[in-house]
Structure 1
């Protein structure tokens, strides 16, 4: 388990987050550019190492009824990835992303050469996009995820 200071250092490495000290030594970190009313990305980080990251718009993450994910046992890499995904889920889409996805749910995947692919579920199929180009189509999410993993991509 990471210490409070280690978690704090990871969280503070995100310049888009603003620190807000709250009661009992706990700290929140807010993303003020959120397109949703939800602004807390990190909620109640406690000196004992416990805390939460907002995951209400993330697919495949187990959250509580408020959309929060407990980060007590997270590794440094997992915590960094989760915060990055949380911020991205609260961010406005670029014009290119909006053209591709519209209102369809999407997942971002980063590859070995820092290439980003989008996985989009639409019309009962799962599409993999690189920029504006559709790369592959799959009948199930499991097939698409297997393909992405085989190609060296991981979800962000």
Structure 2
């Protein structure tokens, strides 16, 4: 198990995190560029070595009801990995529920034009469908046909 100083040294390797000292010698590290209301990546790192990292949007980590994973027994490699994944998860804009309903588990690509309009290209049931919001705009039998259409319409992969 890493001690407090070792964990602190690893966490401080992430320049995008801001240290905030809290009560009882504990330390939080916040990611102020978060696109969500969650800012604490590291929460209540305690001098006894216990602490938490936000993993509410991550898989493969056991979390509490606040989405925090206990890092007491993490190795240096595991700690670096979960912090990196946490930061990435807090920079990713969550898909609206309506898009999630359309996309499901299907392969998708986002395309955008000069006016910042977005289209979704989704592989569904052996067809390539283009959506604008919830509306189905076009359907193609191959990816190449869909790609050609999008390029001709002034869209680029985003």
Q: Same fold (TM over 0.5)?
A: yes
After TM superposition, give the deviation of residue 124 of structure 1 in Å: 3.7
- Partner Cα separation in structure 2 for residue 21 and residue 52 of structure 1: 15
List runs of 5+ in structure 2 lacking aligned partners: 110-158
Change beyond 3 A, Cα 1:9–1:65? same
Distance 1:128 1:29, change over 3 A: same
Structure 2 equivalent of residue 18 of structure 1: 18
SS in 2 for 1:38: coil
TM-score with structure 2 length normalisation?
0.61
Aligned residues: 112
Higher-Rg member (1/2): 2
Query: 1:122-142 CA deviation, whole Å, 9 max, x = no partner?
Result: 5445x599xxxxxxxxxxxxx
Q: 2:9, 2:81 → 1: CA distance?
A: 14
C-alpha RMSD of the superposition: 3.2
What's the secondary structure of 2:78's corresponding residue? helix
What are the superposed Cα offsets for residues 66-107 of structure 1, whole Å, 9 maximum, x if unpaired? Answer: 0000000000000000000000000146xxxx9xxxx65xxx
1:67 alignment partner in structure 2: 67
1:56 paired residue number: 56
The equivalent residue for 2:113 is none
Q: Any unmatched runs of 5+ in structure 1? A: 105-121, 130-156
Structural mapping, 1:140-155, within 5 Å = none
Corresponding residue for residue 154 of structure 2: none
Aligned-partner Cα distance in 2 for 1:128–1:3: 43
> Post-superposition, which runs of at least 4 consecutive aligned residues in structure 1 deviate over 4 A?
none
